[in-house]
Structure 1
Amino acid sequence: MTESTLISTEINSDLFKDIKKIRYDVFVIEQECPEEEEWDEYDEKAKHLLLKINGDSVGCARWRKIYYPDYQGNMDCDVIKMERFAVLKQFRGKNYGKELVKKVVQEIYQKTNIEQNTDYPLFMINAQQYVEKFYQSLGFETDKNIPIFYEAGIPHVRMIIPKDTIKNLYFSN
């Protein structure tokens, strides 16, 4: 039986060493992103999450609250921005990526009491374009108001998931 645990941690914890290794291996080594772009000023303020499967550190993500100007051309709002999703190569193809996204979304939704908090109507991610369909399968929609853009030389799309979709997809029995 597989034991899956999502652990919330801060940048100065021992567990962050595992997150740093995952991000380094995936983004810097595999995807050849410049190391100076991988580590940024947001790491200090972000909440970091580590997925462990049977005790092994397999994936990670981070999230933070940000301001999203002119969402859908008609409103300004605060959003939860999820970033730096990564699963180590040796653990791919086992649905751990989907498990990571689901657990992260559920964790943030519950921790921030998002259902009662009208200031945060949606979650957002800047997804690498090649995984756009993966995130769509998890309820995310591509924000067509934002053209394809590049981060670290890799094409990205802005994707969102409204809190009502999260409630219906991730918490319905």
Structure 2
Amino acid sequence: MQEEIILSTTDFNTLVFEDIKKIRYEVFVIEQQCPQEEEWDEYDESSKHLLLKVNGEPVGCARWRKVYYPKYDGNMECDVIKLERFAILKQFRGKSFGKELVKQVIKHVYQTTNIDQSLNYPLFMINAQQYVENFYSSLGFETDKNIPIFDEAGILHVRMIITNDKIKKLYFSS
């Protein structure tokens, strides 16, 4: 039987956002023991939120927002899309839903935003938990070696980016 996988987008404080809040609370606050006051931040209201459902059941979420990326590679300043708060509920892990979520989010945001797709600078960046660095690498992200490993909510993170050329090659080639 074919699974029905749907990515929906929403804003803060909607009915769909309630499912996202439950997922983030379960994954980040309960499992990873991130302080609740750090999980919910000033960016939630202005970010776009995405919910992945499989056969009608919420399984994962993410959010995105436009940010300024100073001096990328030491010579360029640009706006990028920051992808954040990727989470898959524990009972759905190991079934490729995490990869599906990242792929669908990248395609959705790439196709629906007005970022300059003619340039090759990083169009997307993510502050990835260090232990999932290889996961994001397998999806085309590269670790930004200009940014040292850093602590966020008591968890080590790395800055990762993906360029326009890589997005086109991995996500939009025939």
Match of 1:12 in 2: 13
Q: Does 1:71 align with 2:72?
A: yes
The share of aligned pairs that are identical, in percent, is 73
* CA RMSD of superposed structures (Å): 1.4
Q: Does 1:91 align with 2:92?
A: yes
Is the 8 Å Cα contact of residues 47 and 63 (structure 1) preserved in structure 2? yes
Displacement over 6 Å in runs of 4+: none
Task: With the length of structure 2 as denominator, give the TM-score of the two structures.
Answer: 0.96
Counterpart Cα distance in 2 of 1:117 and 1:64: 20
CA displacement 1:24-43 (0-9 Å, x = unmatched): 00000000000000000000
Q: Any stretches of 5+ residues in structure 1 without a counterpart?
A: none
Give the C-alpha shift of residue 70 in structure 1. Answer: 1.0
Give the C-alpha shift of residue 99 in structure 1. Answer: 0.1
Q: Any stretches of 5+ residues in structure 2 without a counterpart?
A: none
Match of 1:55 in 2: 56
Is the 8 Å Cα contact of residues 109 and 115 (structure 1) preserved in structure 2? no
Q: Say if 1:90 and 1:18 are closer, same or farther in 2 by CA, change over 3 A.
A: same
Give the C-alpha shift of residue 121 in structure 1. Answer: 4.5
Task: With the length of structure 1 as denominator, give the TM-score of the two structures.
Answer: 0.96
Q: Say if 1:119 and 1:67 are closer, same or farther in 2 by CA, change over 3 A.
A: farther
Match of 1:141 in 2: 142
* SS state at 1:15 partner: helix
Is the 8 Å Cα contact of residues 80 and 123 (structure 2) preserved in structure 1? yes
Is the 8 Å Cα contact of residues 77 and 119 (structure 1) preserved in structure 2? no
